[in-house]
Amino acid sequence: MRFALVLLCFTTFLQAQAPRLVIPIGHTSNVVAIAISPDGKFVLTGSYDKTAKLWTRLGQEIQTFKGHTTTVTAVAFSPAPGEYQILTGDGFGTVRLWTPDGKAIRTFDGLERGINSVAFSPDGKWILAASADSIALLWDRQSGKVHQKLIGHSSGIEQAVFSPDGKYVLTGSWNCDRIPNPDFQNVMGAEEFTIKNARGSAKLWDRETGRAIRSFEGHAESVRSVAFSPDANGKYILTGSIGDVTAILWDRDSGQKIRTFTGGCNEFVTMVGFSPDGKQVITSCDGMTIQIWDRETGERQHIDDFAMREAVSRAQFFPPQPGEPAGGKFLLLDGATPQIITLEGESVQTFEQHSEALTAVAFSPFDGGKNLLLGTDNGHSKRWDIPGGQLQTLPETEDYLDHLWQPVCAFTFAGTENAPTLLTGRTGSYWATRRDFKTGSHVEIFDLMDGSASSVAISPPTAADPAGGKFLAFGTRQNTIELWDRARKAPIRTLTKPAVVEPEDDVDPSNPFGLQQEIDFELIPEAISAVEFSPNDGGKTILSGDLNATGILWDRETGAILHTLSGHTDYVYDVAFSPDGQLLLTGSGDNTAKLWDRNGQLLRTLSGHTGAVNVVAFSPDGKSIFTASADNSLKRWDRETGKLLRTMQGHDATALAFTPDGKFIASCSQDNTSKIWDTETGQELATLVAIDSTDWVVTTPSGLFDASPGAMKMMHYVVGLEVVSLDQLKERYYEPGLLPKLLGFSKGDVRDVSSLGQVALYPEIKALLTDDQIDVQLTPRSGGMGKLSFFINGKEVVEDLNPERKTALTVDLKNYEKYYLPGTNSIAMRAYNSAGWLKSAAYELAYTPPATGRGTGSNNSGGSNSLRNDKPHLYAIVVGTSNYSGDQLDLRFPDSDAKAMAEALQASGKRLFDDRVHVKVLTTDGQTPDAISSKKNIAAAFSEYAAQAKPTDILITYFSGHGLTYGSAEKSQFYYLTKDIASPDLKDDEVRKNYTVSSEDLTQWLTANPAKKQVMILDACNSGKVVEALTSIGARELNSSQIRALDRMKDRTGMFILTGAAADKVSYEASKYNQGLLTYSLLQGMSGLALTPDKRVDVMTLFQYARDKVPDLAKGIRQVQTPVLAFPTDGGSFDIGIVDAGVKIPVAQEKPVFIRNSFQNDNDTYIDDLGLAKALNEYFQQITARSAQANLIFVDVSEYEDAYSIKGRYIVNGDAVAVRGRLFKGGTDKGKFEVSGKKDALQALVEAIVEKVAGML
C-alpha cells in the first residue's frame, strides 16, 4: 500500500508541475556509469563531473542530480513501471535514492570506499551496492536500514546484481591469500601484506539470509563484471575478467562451467551481459571493442567487432520496443560521449556535452562592462558581447592541445579604450598571453612547458608599464612562487617559503589533508593555491595563499617575506587586496574568511559559511566584502563592521567579478554557469550559459529566457518527465535582449511572468502496431483531451483521428495507401490538450505496407503503376497577385515575379524530370479566367495536383503578394490576400473565408497531397504595417506571429519553407532589380551562384543562399527582413532541377534607383511653389510602373543607400523658368546641370531635366 501511495503522489506531481527550461549543457566529463529504464524510454548516466543525468532515449536532457562530492560511479532505475526513481553511488561510498525531478529521498550509509555498482531488487523493495570495501550491502529501501552484509571476498567487489526473481545476489571480485609482511614496521615503503594465490571469483548469495551459496572460480584474475540470464529464474551466470581476457558462462545451480568466450581481446574484459531474450552474450574488451556471441554455440555473431572511436567500458542492450526483435536492436555505450548504436555498429544517438565548467570571469573596464570574459577548465577564453548578443570563443594557439585541461584562472585588462588588450593566464604549465581585445587575436604568447603552476597572477598597468602584465607570478606545487619578466621570458627570482612543520597525527586517514572539497588541479599540501599583485603600487608586493593554511605578503623586488598571515586551520584557497592595497583578505577551507591590515594584523574573521570559502573579493569601492563558498552561497559583508549584509544562494562559485560601476557582480562555477547578481539587493538577475563555441543562453529566476538561434535548436521544456518543444512555450517566456535590459545597456521593460505557472498537459499516447492496424490508448492528463493528429513520413494526413475524444481507438492503415513510400514508412501521432495549443512529441512507429499500387484502401490496384516503378514528377503552383480591388494594395512585382519563377522551375525541372514537370501559373493578368489568381482557382490547382501526385513526387508552391497575420497568440494565422481584397482589414469572417488563403487552408491542401517532398516560397509584403512590433524588434527580424503560424504549418506538412517580408509597400518595392528581393535572390542562385558542383538545384543550398543574400541586397531598406528558413527535423534536402548551358534563368538586371527629389524657388521663401519636385517624382513613378520594361526604379523614400537623387533651385522670371541642379548618388556629387523651360509647360521641363540627368548616370 505504501508503494502504491508513493506512485500515486508521483503521478499527481507529474500532472501538476510547472514547465522547466532545459539548457543543453550535458556532462562536462567522461561518463562512467549507465542505465536504461525498464521500458527503454529513458537513459541514466553518471560522470566524473559529480552528477548523474536523466535523458530521453532521443538524447534530450531531462534532469541533473546534484549532491555527490565526487565521481558518480554507479546508477540504476527503479523497476516499477512509470516510477523512474533513481539510485546513484559515488567514489566516496555514498548511495542515494532520488525522485526523477532531482530531489534526494534518502542516503544509504554503511560503506566507506568507492561504490562500483548499485541495483534495485526486481520487486523494488531492496537496494544493493557493491563497494571497494570488499563487501556488498543490502538495505531496506523504505527504512534505509541495512538488511544484509555480504562478506566473503578478500578484495573490492566490482559488481553486484540481483537474479530476475530477486532471490539471489551475484558478486564479482578476486580472492587471494594475504600473508603479513614482517618488514612492514621496519622498512620504509614496505607493503603490509604479501599477496599470494590471487584468482578471480564470483559468488552467489541468498538474498534473504546473506549466506554465500557457492563460488565460481575459473578466472585467473579479478572478475570485473557479472550477469544473470534474463529468464525468470536466472538459470545462467556470466562472468568477465579484467585480467585473463575471457568471459565464462556457468550453470547457476550446479556451478559448472558451460562455455568460455575468448578471442578478440588483447588486455581485459570490462563488461559482460545478456541480450533481452538471453540468446546472445555481449562483452566489452580492451575498452575499445564490443563483441556479441551466440550463447549456445559460443560463436561470434559479428565477424567485424564494433571498433569504438573512444574508450568504452560498459554496454547494455535496450529492451525491445514494439516491432523490434525480441533479442533487442540497440545498445547503449558509456564513454566520453555516451551513444546508442545498432547491432550493426551504426551510431543513432549521442548524449553530448555542449558546455564547459567555468574557472574565471571578468567584466571589461574600458567600455562600462559591456563585455563579459569567461574562462573554462578546458583552457578556452570566451567573450560575451552583452549589448550585441554575441559570444566568441577567442582563438587558440597552434599548440592548444598541449594545454588541454589547463584551466584559465586570470584575466587582466590593459591599454586604452581605443586600443584595449587582454591578458590571460592558465594553470598547469607556465602560460600566459596578451591579446588584441577587439579581435581576440594573440599579440604575445608566454609559454614555458617545463613549469607546473597551481595559480597565476598578472601585474597591473603602471606608468612605466601602461600595457600591464610586465610581471607574471606563478604559484607552484613546490611551495614557491616563480616570478618572471613577461617580455624577456626570463625568471627574475623564486619566492620560497620556510620549511613547514609536519602536522600532528590526529588526522582522518581517509582525508589526510582535511580536504572539504575536491581540487580541480592536482594540488599537494605544499602548493601555492592563490597569488595576487598589489593594485596600488604597480604590483610591488605579492599576496599568496597556500595549502599550509597561511597567507604571505612578499616584497616583489627583494623576495623577502613581509608578513605571514596565520590563523586559518585549513587550506587557504583565495586571497585579495582591497582596491587601495591597504587591506588583505583570505578565504579558507575552514569555512571562514579573514580580513587583515597591511601589517599582517588580523582585523576580523567572517564566519557563517558551512563549506569551504573558495573565493574572496572586495567591491570596487572597497566598502563591502564578498565571499563564495562550497555551500553554494555567495555572501556580502560590511568591511568596517564584519556584519553579514546579504546571502545569495546559487552555486559553488570558482571566481567573482564586478562591473566597473560596482552595481552588479558575476560569479562562475564548475556547474558551467555564470550568474549575475545585484550587489546592493543580492537579487539573482540572470544565469548565463555558453553553449559550444558561439551559442549562448540567458535565463532569469522567473523563467524568462533569451538565447542564440543555435542554442534554441537544442533547448526544450520539461513537465515532469514529459518533453515539451521550446516553440510551444516560447511565446510565454522568450524575451529578446534580456541581458542588456537587465544590466541597463538597452531600454525596455522586462516582463513579469511570475503568474504563469502550470501547463495543461496533453494525453499520454500508447500504441501497438499489429499487421495493418494500430491500437491506440490515450490517458488524459491535466490538459484534458484534444485532437489526435496523424502523420505519415512527417506529413500530417489527418488533422484529428479522434473527434469523439475516445480513450481507445483503432487506425486502419490500409486507408492511407496513397501516402506510403516503398519500403518502411514512419507513422506518427501527436496528441493535443483540450485547448489545442500544446501538443505532444511525435509517437512514432515503423510500418512496411504490402507492395501496392495507387488506391484508397484496397489491394486491388486495377492495373495502375506500382509505387516502386514510378519515376518522380515535379508539380509547381506559382501564384502572384499584383492588382487588388481598388488601388490601395496594388503592387508592381508579384505577377512578373511569378512568371519568372514559373519559367525557371519549368526550364530547370525539365532537365531533371524530362516531361514529368507540371507548372501552373496564376496571376492577376492571366489571359484566361482559370489563370487568374483567385482563391477559387488556387484551391482548384491544389486539388488537381493532389489527385495526380504520388508520395515519390515533389510539390513546389510559390506565393508573391500581400501576406499578413491575424488573430492572437497561438491561434493567429498567416493570410495571403487574393485579388478581391480591397484593404488589409481582416475583421470580417466572410472576407477571410472567401478572399484570403490562410495557413490553415494551405495546411489542408498540402496534407491532402501525398507528395512527401514539399517546398513553399513566400515573398510577401506586410501591407499597412499590420504588425506594429516590426519597427520595435528591428529591421532584421521577421514578424514573429507570421513565423509562428508558418512554423506550425511546417510541422504539420513536413515541408521546407522559405519566407521573407517587407513591412510595407514602399519597402517591398524598393528593389533596384524590379523584382522582389527574395525572388531575385532565388533566381540568381538558380542561375549558377547556388548550384551543386554537378549543376543541380538543391533545395537547402538554394534556400540558404537566398536567406543570406537578401540582407546584402536590402542594405538601406530598413524594413526588409532576413528571410526565415524552416525545414522538417528529419527531412533531407533534395534536387528540383538542373541548370546547364541549355537552361536560361530569367534574372533581372540591376537598374538605377532614384529616391525623392528636392527643388526650391530661389527667392526669399525657398518654397517649391511650382511643384517641380512632385512632378519629377510622379514622372519617375510612371516609368517604374512599366515593370520589366522600366529603365529605372523610383522609391518614394528620403534615404536609400547609394540611390540617385536630384537637388536644385530655379528662378521664375515671368513665364520663363531657369533650373540649376545637381545629381547625387548617396552622398556623392555626380555633377551639375542647367535647363530652362516654361512655367505652364512643367511636363516638358521635367523631361528636359531627366534627359540631362540620363547622360550623367
CATH number at residue 1062: 3.40.50.1460
Structure confidence at residue 291 (pLDDT)? 87
In a domain, 929, yes or no: yes
Residue 50's Cα: distance from chain center in Å? 21
Number of domain units in the chain: 5
Separation between Cα atoms, residue 312 and residue 268, nearest integer Å: 12
Instruction: Identify the helix (H) or strand (E) that includes residue 742.
Output: helix 738-742
In a domain, 453, yes or no: no
19 and 44 share one domain: yes
What one-character DSSP code corresponds to residue 154?
S
34 and 96 share one domain: yes
Structure confidence at residue 305 (pLDDT)? 52
What are the pLDDT digits (tens) for 1017-1049? 988 775 322 222 222 222 223 444 445 444 554
Q: What CA–CA distances, in Å, run from 98 to 52, 105, 374, 397, 650?
A: 11, 5, 33, 44, 21
| Cα angle 317-322-326, degrees, rounded to a multiple of 5 | 45
In a domain, 446, yes or no: no
3-state secondary structure string across 945-997: HHHHCCCCCEEEEEEEEEEEEECCHHHCEEEEECCCCCCCCCCCHHHHHHHEE
Structure confidence at residue 1229 (pLDDT)? 92
Alpha carbons within 13 A on the beta-carbon side of 139: 22
The count of residues in the chain is: 1257
Domain CATH code at residue 1247? 3.30.160.150
Instruction: Identify the helix (H) or strand (E) that includes residue 874.
Output: strand 874-880
Sign of CA dihedral 962, 1075, 1029, 1105: positive
In a domain, 229, yes or no: yes
Residue 784 belongs to domain spanning: 764-847
Structure confidence at residue 429 (pLDDT)? 63
Helix, strand or coil for residue 114?
A: coil
883 and 956 share one domain: yes
1038 and 1118 share one domain: yes
Mean of pLDDT over the chain: 84
Separation between Cα atoms, residue 179 and residue 744, nearest integer Å: 72
Structure confidence at residue 202 (pLDDT)? 94
Given 350, 381, 411, which residue is the final one in a domain?
350
Q: Are 317 and 331 spatial neighbours (Cβ–Cβ below 8 Å)?
A: yes
Sign of CA dihedral 568, 572, 573, 577: positive
Domain CATH code at residue 820? 2.60.40.10
920 and 1042 share one domain: yes
Instruction: Identify the helix (H) or strand (E) that includes residue 553.
Output: strand 550-555
Separation between Cα atoms, residue 879 and residue 765, nearest integer Å: 40
Domain CATH code at residue 252? 2.130.10.10
In a domain, 1210, yes or no: yes
Query: Which has more pLDDT, 1150 or 221?
Result: 221
* Ramachandran region, residue 488 (left: φ > 0; alpha: ψ -120 to 50; beta: rest): alpha
SS3 content of the chain, % helix, strand, coil (to 5): 15, 40, 45
1166 and 1099 share one domain: no
Split at pLDDT 50, 70, 90, the class of 2 is very low
Q: Is 125 exposed, middle or buried (0-12, 13-18, 19+ CB in 10 A)?
A: middle
1036 and 1167 share one domain: no
Q: Are 290 and 315 spatial neighbours (Cβ–Cβ below 8 Å)?
A: yes
820 and 834 share one domain: yes
Separation between Cα atoms, residue 89 and residue 139, nearest integer Å: 14
Point out the least confidently predicted range of 409-423, 969-983, 1150-1164: 409-423
Separation between Cα atoms, residue 457 and residue 444, nearest integer Å: 17
Structure confidence at residue 402 (pLDDT)? 59
In a domain, 973, yes or no: yes
Structure confidence at residue 1163 (pLDDT)? 84
985 and 1088 share one domain: yes
Separation between Cα atoms, residue 1150 and residue 1193, nearest integer Å: 10
Split at pLDDT 50, 70, 90, the class of 378 is confident
What are residue 576's phi and psi, to 5 degrees? -155, 145
903 and 789 share one domain: no
Q: Are 1253 and 1176 spatial neighbours (Cβ–Cβ below 8 Å)?
A: no
Structure confidence at residue 1082 (pLDDT)? 93
In a domain, 998, yes or no: yes
What are the pLDDT digits (tens) for 748-806? 788 888 767 788 899 999 999 998 999 999 999 988 999 999 999 888 889 899 999 99
Separation between Cα atoms, residue 176 and residue 1037, nearest integer Å: 71
Beta strands of 1076-1180 (E only): which ranges? 1096-1098, 1124-1126, 1135-1138, 1153-1154, 1158-1161
What one-character DSSP code corresponds to residue 1054?
T
In this structure, are strands 1013-1021 and 1056-1062 parallel, antiparallel, or unpaired?
parallel
Helix, strand or coil for residue 198?
A: strand
Split at pLDDT 50, 70, 90, the class of 514 is very low
Q: What CA–CA distances, in Å, run from 669 to 374, 630, 672, 1145?
A: 10, 10, 6, 56
CB atoms within 10 A of CB 518: 13
Separation between Cα atoms, residue 468 and residue 535, nearest integer Å: 11
Structure confidence at residue 859 (pLDDT)? 30
- Which residues on adjacent β-strands are paired with residue 724? 717
Split at pLDDT 50, 70, 90, the class of 1126 is confident
Alpha carbons within 13 A on the beta-carbon side of 921: 20
Nearest to 787 by CA among 805, 775, 770, 809: 805
Structure confidence at residue 1026 (pLDDT)? 25
Given 750, 775, 808, which residue is the final one in a domain?
750
Query: Which has more pLDDT, 715 or 870?
Result: 715
733 and 837 share one domain: no
In a domain, 556, yes or no: no
Q: Which amino acid is at 218?
A: G
Take residue 17 and report the three cell numbers written for it. Answer: 508541475
Split at pLDDT 50, 70, 90, the class of 488 is confident
Query: Which has more pLDDT, 293 or 1186?
Result: 293
Separation between Cα atoms, residue 150 and residue 163, nearest integer Å: 15
The mean pLDDT of 287-311, rounded to a whole number, is 74
Point out the least confidently predicted range of 79-88, 216-225, 963-972, 1206-1215: 963-972
Q: Are 335 and 347 spatial neighbours (Cβ–Cβ below 8 Å)?
A: no
Instruction: Identify the helix (H) or strand (E) that includes residue 118.
Output: strand 115-120
Helical packing angle, 999-1007 and 935-948, nearest 10°: 20
Per-residue DSSP letters for 609-651?
-SS-EEEEEE-TTSSEEEEEETTSEEEEEETTT--EEEEEES-
Structure confidence at residue 179 (pLDDT)? 67
What are the pLDDT digits (tens) for 578-608? 999 999 999 999 999 999 999 999 999 999 9
Structure confidence at residue 851 (pLDDT)? 66
Q: Cell 513510400, residue? A: 821
Given 796, 831, 847, which residue is the final one in a domain?
847
Split at pLDDT 50, 70, 90, the class of 182 is confident
Structure confidence at residue 404 (pLDDT)? 60
What does R_g of the chain's alpha carbons equal in angstroms? 37
306 and 235 share one domain: yes
Q: Is the pLDDT of residue 868 over 60?
A: no
Q: Are 649 and 608 spatial neighbours (Cβ–Cβ below 8 Å)?
A: no
Separation between Cα atoms, residue 71 and residue 50, nearest integer Å: 4
pTM of the model: 0.71
Point out the least confidently predicted range of 80-94, 210-224, 1062-1076: 1062-1076
Structure confidence at residue 296 (pLDDT)? 93
